[in-house]
């Protein structure tokens, strides 16, 4: 009888479930439901947590039907991180809309956190105070939603990231748990002691009884009830960490780079957490087989979104894929550089006042040059992050494993290899996030071993860097000069 795992990927724009055939080592079915976001005030982003739970059950049911004739051995969960759901432990009903990671409503509070407090917070949780993380979002709900305060007094309020809320709902309230990768994005979890931190809890007004139990990624999180069926939930990771695991980045120095709307680089640092001097974050990479592993994380807000802007804002493209052909139709950008600072610049510049820039335009500049400059800027941003990580860790990069929508672009991947000076390795299965959760679940259920995680990843293509280092270093230096003009 066929053995399957269902991987549930609760993302920001959609919820998807993938049916993974354990023996064939591939996804054989998928189901998807869009998730709506609402923007009630400028900078605010909310979702309906009930909708997330209903749609999760729906796509799980779809995969379960597709598995008829075989046996589903478990459900792995991966999810948008940092997003907060507060709900009543007696009914499972949310007390307010979920506050999504992108929501900036608490940014004023976060920027008012004194420097010495920020340093102490970072020492404990590896994160820099920012509205992005869960803690200030929970604090906001406690201060602004009377029902939350009332339930907290009664000991009935629960607050968790999307994974823990889904586990609660799928197990019909029998289990409320999360994993260390999701916990390490809340700003309430001490990544050294691997426990909620009482000092951080007090700082944000959160009480321990509100929070989920933190179990290793390969634990049994509970029994999900789907119609008449009960299925073990085993294997939980936040989306970026799931991609790290799905890309089999299990050794110190392994790197994965996701090219989506933004750019996410995670660098596995093994059993030791490395605390960055250049504003990168320290996070739990994964925890399984009794051990916890760490990663350095760096992100750039805009990557693929620059390509969307070429298409929707400038009308230069019919679709994102066309950017490859246009870029290859010219030998270079003709001296044009693009800085994707639409909403400021993150690591290593940290300048929220910076704005986008196109430099080096001449009478000969064509749209092809600008399209190419936009793609090249993605590769330069990745080099910025790589430089920080090498500096912080003292470990040089030897190759990067790519995934995400824009990793389909062959020009971009080749240029990335050239700019980094190391090979860029693109896997056969680019749904690394879903794969990571499926593999963690399979591992937890004893269906595969650690060596199978490594052998499950096969390369589709390896982009080898050009030998002309001077040329590409020169281009990168010119990009840095353009960035200096975009600052402030």
Residues that bind ligand ADP (CB under 6 A): 13, 260-261, 304-305, 307-308, 320-321, 323-324, 404-406, 408-409
**Closer CB to ligand ADP, 257 or 438, in the complex:** 257
> Residue 437: how many CB atoms within 10 A of its CB?
34
In Å, the largest CA–CA distance within the chain is: 70
Closest among 373, 121, 52, 404 to 242, alpha carbons compared: 404
**Closer CB to ligand ADP, 126 or 306, in the complex:** 306
**Closer CB to ligand ADP, 307 or 440, in the complex:** 307
Q: Is 132 left (phi over 0), alpha (psi -120 to 50) or beta?
A: alpha
Measured CA to CA, the distance from residue 264 to residue 261 in angstroms comes to 10
Contacts of 118 (CB under 8 A, 6+ apart): 128, 129
Q: Minimum distance from CB of 320 to ligand ADP (Å)? A: 4
**Closer CB to ligand ADP, 194 or 408, in the complex:** 408
Q: Minimum distance from CB of 310 to ligand ADP (Å)? A: 8
Measured CA to CA, the distance from residue 53 to residue 157 in angstroms comes to 18
Q: Minimum distance from CB of 444 to ligand ADP (Å)? A: 25
As beta bridge partners, residue 34 has 14
**Closer CB to ligand ADP, 305 or 377, in the complex:** 305
**Closer CB to ligand ADP, 102 or 161, in the complex:** 102
Q: Which two tokens stand for residue 306?
A: 């620059």
Q: Minimum distance from CB of 405 to ligand ADP (Å)? A: 2
Closest residue to ligand ADP using C-beta atoms: 405
**Closer CB to ligand ADP, 13 or 343, in the complex:** 13
* Cβ–Cβ under 8 Å, residues 359 and 281: no
Sheet strand arrangement including 220-226: 26-34, 14-21, 3-10, 71-79, 229-238, 220-226
Q: Minimum distance from CB of 132 to ligand ADP (Å)? A: 15
**Closer CB to ligand ADP, 188 or 373, in the complex:** 373
Q: What Rg value do the Cα atoms of the chain yield, rounded?
A: 22
Q: Minimum distance from CB of 126 to ligand ADP (Å)? A: 23
Q: Minimum distance from CB of 35 to ligand ADP (Å)? A: 12
Q: Minimum distance from CB of 404 to ligand ADP (Å)? A: 4
How far CA 76 is from CA of 18, 92, 96, 436, in Å, comes to 10, 21, 27, 9
Three-state SS letters, 286-332: EEECCEEEEEEEEEECCCHHHHHHHHHHCCCCCCCCHHHHHHHCCCC
């Amino acid at each position: 009888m066929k053995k399957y795992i269902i991987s549930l990927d609760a993302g920001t724009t959609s919820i998807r479930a993938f049916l993974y055939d354990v023996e064939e080592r591939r996804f054989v079915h998928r189901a998807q439901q869009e998730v709506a976001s609402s923007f009630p005030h400028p900078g605010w982003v909310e979702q309906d947590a009930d909708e997330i739970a209903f749609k999760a059950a729906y796509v799980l049911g779809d995969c379960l039907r597709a598995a008829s004739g075989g046996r589903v051995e478990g459900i792995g969960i991966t999810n948008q991180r940092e997003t907060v759901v507060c709900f009543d432990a007696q009914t499972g009903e949310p007390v307010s809309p979920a506050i999504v990671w992108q929501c900036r409503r608490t940014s004023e509070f976060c920027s008012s956190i004194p420097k010495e407090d920020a340093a102490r917070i970072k020492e404990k949780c590896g994160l820099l105070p920012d509205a992005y993380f869960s803690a200030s979002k929970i604090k906001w709900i406690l201060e602004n939603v009377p029902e939350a305060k009332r339930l907290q007094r009664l000991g009935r309020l629960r607050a968790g990231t999307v994974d823990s809320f889904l586990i609660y709902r799928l197990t019909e309230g029998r289990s409320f748990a999360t994993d260390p990768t999701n916990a390490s994005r809340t700003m309430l979890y001490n990544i050294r002691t691997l426990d909620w931190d009482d000092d951080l809890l007090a700082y944000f007004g959160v009480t321990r009884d509100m929070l989920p139990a933190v179990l290793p990624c390969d634990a049994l999180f509970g029994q999900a009830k789907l119609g008449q069926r009960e299925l073990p939930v085993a294997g939980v990771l936040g989306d970026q960490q799931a991609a790290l695991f799905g890309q089999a980045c299990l050794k110190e120095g392994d790197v994965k780079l996701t090219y989506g709307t933004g750019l996410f680089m995670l660098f596995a640092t093994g059993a030791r957490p490395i605390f960055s001097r250049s504003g990168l974050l320290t996070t739990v990479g994964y925890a399984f087989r009794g051990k916890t592993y760490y990663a350095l994380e760096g992100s750039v807000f805009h990557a693929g979104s620059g390509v969307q802007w070429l298409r929707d804002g400038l009308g230069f493209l019919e679709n994102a894929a066309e950017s490859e052909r246009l870029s290859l139709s010219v030998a270079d950008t003709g001296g044009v550089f693009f800085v994707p600072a639409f909403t400021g610049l993150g690591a290593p510049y940290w300048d929220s006042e910076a704005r986008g820039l196109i430099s080096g335009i001449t009478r000969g500049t064509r749209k092809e040059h600008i399209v190419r400059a936009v793609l090249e800027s993605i590769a330069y941003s990745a080099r910025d992050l790589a430089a920080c990580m090498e500096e912080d860790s003292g470990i040089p990069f030897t190759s990067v494993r790519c995934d995400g929508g824009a990793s389909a672009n062959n020009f971009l991947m080749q240029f990335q290899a050239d700019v980094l000076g190391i090979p860029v390795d693109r896997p056969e299965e680019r749904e690394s996030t879903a794969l990571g959760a499926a593999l963690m679940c399979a591992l937890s259920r004893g269906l595969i071993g650690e060596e199978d995680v490594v052998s499950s990843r096969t390369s589709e293509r390896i982009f080898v860097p050009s030998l002309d280092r001077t040329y590409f270093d020169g281009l990168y230096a010119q990009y840095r000069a353009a960035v200096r003009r975009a600052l402030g």
